[in-house]
């Protein structure tokens, strides 16, 4: 896989050494067992796969190159490059301005853009409508193309299926930039609807089986179906794609459920299933799959708690948190500063969507076992700083150097 030129301060000598050695020992990526770091009375259980993915590194390289190649020019990002506050702050420090926030709210006026400005579309991609709006200002939005190739793969899959006469069901978060973009690209080919979770998929299933009055559909799914969607005919043949950062098991469950509903309702013979339900296969990206598989394998170990590192608005990171919460106390943290002390931690609560503080989060017994992983938009250097901070507050900072030397010399 291609390597990218990203700023050195995002790299970690320790994490790079660990990843390089694990890759050398497991070239086919079949071993998802975690790496265990013995740091005195602290045992860090580090997930097999985590951190920057292909799409993120590609976007960062392009954004920094755009700055280098355009001295004196105004450079804008349509919205956050990725869901990591540190990376976005670095880009802003270089003079890059954001046109809108992640929800699509404007931070400036379109009239303020000039035809000689640079506009970069984030890694999530954007809607066809937004691309045209940028072109209408005289700016080419594809000059610095940062849309993740795996997101574009989903668009291509949806387009192909749509052209074959299927309606597209997108499993994704309706307000997320990527889902908004996928919805836009898909509806250009075929009727499209977005479902957020299994509950909404089951609601859709009741419309497929005509168990609910059809006119109610337009209220239940308001804002999540394409213009002209006809409930009486557009759910007779469907295919499922997803936002690339969703939980793999949930996407599969939704696809299996809708497939069974539609073949049962239309009494479709097994050899005719594809006439009603498109074989889309899972459209999660490789990094999302690898990171989720790594967490599941990590959770087979015994531990006292888990620390998940990433931006609080990161979808892929939130799903890692959800997996860990099922097994043990889990804290979703932004950076090492969230580890205030051995007695106090600041973390993000996914259920209340608010930052909280907890006391006495580290048990007193020794050894202390802590699982650590991060999302696909989190720099490895940040993971290393969290490990260093954890070692420091537990009195194990002396062990960091020897462990680092061991891996770097391996």
Per residue in 107-130, pLDDT (tens digit) is: 999 999 999 999 999 999 999 999
Residues 6+ apart with CB under 8 A from 348: 312, 332, 333, 334, 354, 355, 356
C-alpha to C-alpha distances, 409 to 304, 383, 385, nearest whole angstrom: 30, 20, 20
140 contacts 269 by C-beta, under 8 angstroms: no
Reported as type and span, the H/E element at residue 254 is helix 248-265
CA distance 105 to 78: 11
Write the CATH number of the domain with boundaries 54-136: 3.40.50.11270
72 contacts 112 by C-beta, under 8 angstroms: no
Six-digit token pair at 358?
């907890």
Write the CATH number of the domain with boundaries 8-53+286-408: 3.40.1010.20
This prediction's pTM: 0.91
Residues serving a catalytic function are: 178
Six-digit token pair at 272?
């005719």
| Residue ranges of domains in the chain | 8-53+286-408, 54-136, 149-275
Residues 6+ apart with CB under 8 A from 185: 125, 127, 128, 155, 158, 159
CA distance 334 to 324: 16
pLDDT at 1: 62
Q: How confident is the model at residue 10 (pLDDT cuts 50, 70, 90)?
A: very high
Sheet holding 192-195, edge to edge: 192-195, 167-171, 238-242
Partnered with residue 238 across adjacent β-strands are: 167, 277
329 contacts 361 by C-beta, under 8 angstroms: yes
Domain over 149-275 is classified CATH 3.30.70.980 = no
More confident residue, 1 or 240: 240
pLDDT at 282: 63
| Same fold across 8-53+286-408 and 54-136 | no
pLDDT in tens, 176-216: 999 999 999 999 999 999 999 999 999 999 999 999 999 99
């Amino acid at each position: 896989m291609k390597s990218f030129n990203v700023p050195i301060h995002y790299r970690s000598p320790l994490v790079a050494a660990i990843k390089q050695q694990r890759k050398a020992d497991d070239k086919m990526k079949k071993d998802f067992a975690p790496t265990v770091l013995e740091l005195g009375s602290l045992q860090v259980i580090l997930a097999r796969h985590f951190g920057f993915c292909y799409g993120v590194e590609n976007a960062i390289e392009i954004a920094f190159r755009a700055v280098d190649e355009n001295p004196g020019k105004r450079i804008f990002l349509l919205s956050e490059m990725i869901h990591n506050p540190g990376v976005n702050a670095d880009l802003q420090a270089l003079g890059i301005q954001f046109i809108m926030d992640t929800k699509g709210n404007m931070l400036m006026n379109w009239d303020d853009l000039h035809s000689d400005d640079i506009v970069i579309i984030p890694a999530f991609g954007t809607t066809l409508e937004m691309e045209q709006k940028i072109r209408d200002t005289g700016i080419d939005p594809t000059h610095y193309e940062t849309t993740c190739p795996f997101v574009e793969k989903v668009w291509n899959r949806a387009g192909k299926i749509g052209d074959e006469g299927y309606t597209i069901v997108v499993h994704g978060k309706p307000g997320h930039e990527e889902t908004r973009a996928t919805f836009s690209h898909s509806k250009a080919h075929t009727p499209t609807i977005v479902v957020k979770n299994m509950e909404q998929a089951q609601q859709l299933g009741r419309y497929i089986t005509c168990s609910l009055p059809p006119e109610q559909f337009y209220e239940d799914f308001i804002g999540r179906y394409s213009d002209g969607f006809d409930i009486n005919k557009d759910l007779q043949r469907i295919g499922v794609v997803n936002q690339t950062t969703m939980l793999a098991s949930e996407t599969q469950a939704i696809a299996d459920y809708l497939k069974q509903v539609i073949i049962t309702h239309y009494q479709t013979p097994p050899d005719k299933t594809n006439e009603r339900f498109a074989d889309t296969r899972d459209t999660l990206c490789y990094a999302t799959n690898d990171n989720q598989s790594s967490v599941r394998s990590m959770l087979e170990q015994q531990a006292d708690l888990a620390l998940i590192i990433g931006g609080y608005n990161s979808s892929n990171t939130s799903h890692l948190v959800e997996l860990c919460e099922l097994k043990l106390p889990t804290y979703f943290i932004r950076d090492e500063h969230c580890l205030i002390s051995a007695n106090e931690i600041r973390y993000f609560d996914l259920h209340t969507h608010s930052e909280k503080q907890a006391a006495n989060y580290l048990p007193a017994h020794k050894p202390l076992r802590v699982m650590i992983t991060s999302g696909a938009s989190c720099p490895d250097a940040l993971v290393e700083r969290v490990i260093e901070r954890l070692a420091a507050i537990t009195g194990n900072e002396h062990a960091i150097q020897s462990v680092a030397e061991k891996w770097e010399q391996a």
